[in-house]
């Protein structure tokens, strides 16, 4: 049964209360989307995690949190969907963007021969969210990671609807010395002492808003703040590393049990939810390099190193929260916070693209200018508590994102601190933005029809109407991993493997496959998936992998 679950015990009752106004007609809201990178569902304090995130927790206490919201399983596809409100394939990023090379013109020419869905940049006939908001009179600003087109300047942020941009275009960056840093269209060097991207992105974002206040104060603004934290390389500021050092010595086995207990107490998951098993030798291991060992099987030296790498990761999340606090303080000081619609989410689940115990050197952690590479599948399993799988995959651990929405002037005061159990996905956020902004998706662009979005505005829900968001199946695909969600049912499968079927209202961690018991449901949803895949341009991965920017894996 879909419902709005009261926030039971996350915060003291005094913090759950709010003197914010009821929804008003104070004018179109400002819009802020804050996106983090490779953060699991269970890292934030308000999702049961161990990072200290008081500013995000406070946003949740005065807004709403979603317990079932889906991203697109990977950096590029999520960003393509978030910037267009369409399926990534419809936007031209059905897999990933490709890196710039010295032979860019010839590479572009070759990729133009590929099926549209797999070319690797936002299509020029697909309107972006900033483009649509700009036509409605919004100032549009971005700071952070772009990653939906780098090889051709025509695909860069200021050519795709943003008035100002500060950040990097590719998929990864050093936090202390980024080499792909741009202000608008100009390649620049990082400036200032103790440079750190998380801090710099916030500085620039606030600077853009100050500029907007001076020149366009009567007009609303849209800010897209796309932090690269906590994506690898794992590089924390020394003081944040020091804060968390020693907090993870009990290990992932004990800490996962503790986190799931908090999630149940908060009402984020049903009380009968079981913890996904720690991946063992007989489990599907993908590219992660092996099973996750029991914590007690590690040597004291290994345990110390693993505590240090997780302290790095959590310190990076803490730094994001500190910077969210800085942004909120600016909005509060400029009397903009009440009528600013804020979204906070992650682009995919925790990543497990390295061996279980990660890839780093202990002696480089916690030092300014240094850090580690990846934290490994073991801690990724912890970050995704209680779910299965990781980034890349369409099981819960890959596509479930925390989603916090805060808007004092627009969210019914009776909902403050509530947990929304209705499920949704990325296109809903774009449709919500267009709805509240009075902006319109064009029916055609550059002489070509624009696909209709499968998203639904969340505005009625935020105003207090407790109704299902989606009455038709929603679908996601990445690298042949695919899923269909329809009501209580979730059909999900790995590339090249049979469909699995779960009642995720009763079985949130996908523990009990009902495919054999419910053949009619399986057939109905698999048919819905096939029809959707044809409509949006999905090509079977055994063929589409040849269009990948990466070397195809051996079969």
3-state secondary structure (DSSP) of residue 201: helix
Long-range contacts of 330-339 (CB under 8 A, 24+ apart): 330/206, 330/209, 331/30, 331/32, 331/209, 334/209, 334/213, 336/30, 336/209, 337/408, 338/20, 338/21, 338/26, 338/408, 338/409, 339/26, 339/27, 339/29, 339/30, 339/407, 339/408, 339/409, 339/410
Q: How far is CA 377 from the centre of its chain?
A: 19
pLDDT at 21: 31
- Its pTM surpasses 0.75: yes
Distance CA 138, CA 162 (A): 10
- Domain boundary assignment for the chain: 4-71+123-468
Distance CA 95, CA 544 (A): 8
Angle, vertex CA 530, rays to CA 525 and CA 531, nearest 5: 95
Distance CA 314, CA 305 (A): 14
pLDDT at 117: 96
- One CATH from 3.40.50.300, 3.40.720.10, 3.40.50.150, 3.40.50.720 for 4-71+123-468: 3.40.720.10
Q: What is the 3-state secondary structure of 426-441?
A: HHHHHHHHHHHHCCCC
Are 401 and 69 in contact by the 8 Å Cβ rule? The answer is yes
pLDDT at 110: 84
3-state secondary structure (DSSP) of residue 491: strand
Determine phi and psi for 164, rounding to 5 degrees.
-140, 150
pLDDT at 451: 96
Per-residue pLDDT of the chain (555 residues; tens, 9 = 90+): 333 333 333 332 223 333 333 333 358 999 999 999 999 999 999 999 999 999 999 999 999 999 999 999 999 999 999 999 999 999 999 999 876 665 567 778 888 899 999 999 999 999 999 999 999 999 999 999 999 999 899 999 999 999 999 999 999 999 999 999 999 999 999 999 999 999 999 999 999 999 999 999 999 999 999 999 999 999 999 999 999 999 999 999 999 999 999 999 999 999 999 999 999 875 665 545 689 999 999 999 999 999 999 999 999 999 999 999 999 999 999 999 999 999 999 999 999 999 999 999 999 999 999 999 999 999 999 999 999 999 999 999 999 999 999 999 999 999 999 999 999 999 999 999 999 999 999 999 999 999 999 999 999 999 999 999 999 999 999 999 999 999 999 999 999 999 999 999 999 999 999 999 999 999 999 999 999 999 999 999 999 999 987 765 555
């Amino acid at each position: 049964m879909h419902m709005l679950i009261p926030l039971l015990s996350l915060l003291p009752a005094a913090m759950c209360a709010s003197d914010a106004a009821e929804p008003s007609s104070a004018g179109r809201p400002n819009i802020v989307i804050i996106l983090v990178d490779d953060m699991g569902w269970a890292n934030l304090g308000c999702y049961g995690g161990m990072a200290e995130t008081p500013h995000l927790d406070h946003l949740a206490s005065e807004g709403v949190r979603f317990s079932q919201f889906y991203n697109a399983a990977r950096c590029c596809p999520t960003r393509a969907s978030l910037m267009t409100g369409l399926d990534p394939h419809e936007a031209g990023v059905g897999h990933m963007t490709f890196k710039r090379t010295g032979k860019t013109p010839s590479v572009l020419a070759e990729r133009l021969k590929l099926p549209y869905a797999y070319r690797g940049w936002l299509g020029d006939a697909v309107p972006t969210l900033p483009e649509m908001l700009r036509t409605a009179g919004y100032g549009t600003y971005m700071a952070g990671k772009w990653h939906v087109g780098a090889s051709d300047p025509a695909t860069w942020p200021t050519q795709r609807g943003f008035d100002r941009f500060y950040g990097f275009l590719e998929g990864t960056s050093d936090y202390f010395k980024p080499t792909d840093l741009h202000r608008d269209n100009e390649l620049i060097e990082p400036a200032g002492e103790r440079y750190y991207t998380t801090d710099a992105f916030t500085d620039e974002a606030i600077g853009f808003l100050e500029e907007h206040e001076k020149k366009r104060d009567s007009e609303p603004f849209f800010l897209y703040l796309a932090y690269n934290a906590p994506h690898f390389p794992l590089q924390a500021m020394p003081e944040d590393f020091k804060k968390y050092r020693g907090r993870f010595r009990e290990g992932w086995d004990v800490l996962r049990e503790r986190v799931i207990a908090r999630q149940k107490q908060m009402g984020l998951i049903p009380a009968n939810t079981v913890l996904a098993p720690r991946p063992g030798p007989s489990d599907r291991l993908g590219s992660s390099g092996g099973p996750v060992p029991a914590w007690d099987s590690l040597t004291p030296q290994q345990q110390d190193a693993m505590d240090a790498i997780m302290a790095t990761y959590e310190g990076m999340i803490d730094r994001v929260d500190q910077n969210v606090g800085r942004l909120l303080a600016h909005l509060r000081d400029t009397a903009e916070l009440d009528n600013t619609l804020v979204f906070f989410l992650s682009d995919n689940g925790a990543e497990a693209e390295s061996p279980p115990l990660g890839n780093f050197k202990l002696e480089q952690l916690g030092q300014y200018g240094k850090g580690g590479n990846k934290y490994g599948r073991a801690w990724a399993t912890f970050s995704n508590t209680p779910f299965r799988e990781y980034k890349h995959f369409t099981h819960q651990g890959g596509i479930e994102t925390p989603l916090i929405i805060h808007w004092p002037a627009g969210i019914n005061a009776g909902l403050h601190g509530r947990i929304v159990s209705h499920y949704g996905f990325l296109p809903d956020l774009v449709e919500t933005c267009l709805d509240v902004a009075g902006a319109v998706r064009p029916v055609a662009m550059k002489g070509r029809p624009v696909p209709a979005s499968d998203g639904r505005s969340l505005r009625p829900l935020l105003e207090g109407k407790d109704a299902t968001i989606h009455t038709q199946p929603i679908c996601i695909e990445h690298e042949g991993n695919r899923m269909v969600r329809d009501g209580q049912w979730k059909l999900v499968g790995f590339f090249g493997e049979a469909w699995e079927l779960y009642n995720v209202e009763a079985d949130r961690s996908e523990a009990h496959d009902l495919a054999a018991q419910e053949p009619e449901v399986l057939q109905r949803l698999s048919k819905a998936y096939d029809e959707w895949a044809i409509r949006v341009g999905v090509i079977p991965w055994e063929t589409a992998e040849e269009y990948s920017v990466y070397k195809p894996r051996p079969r």
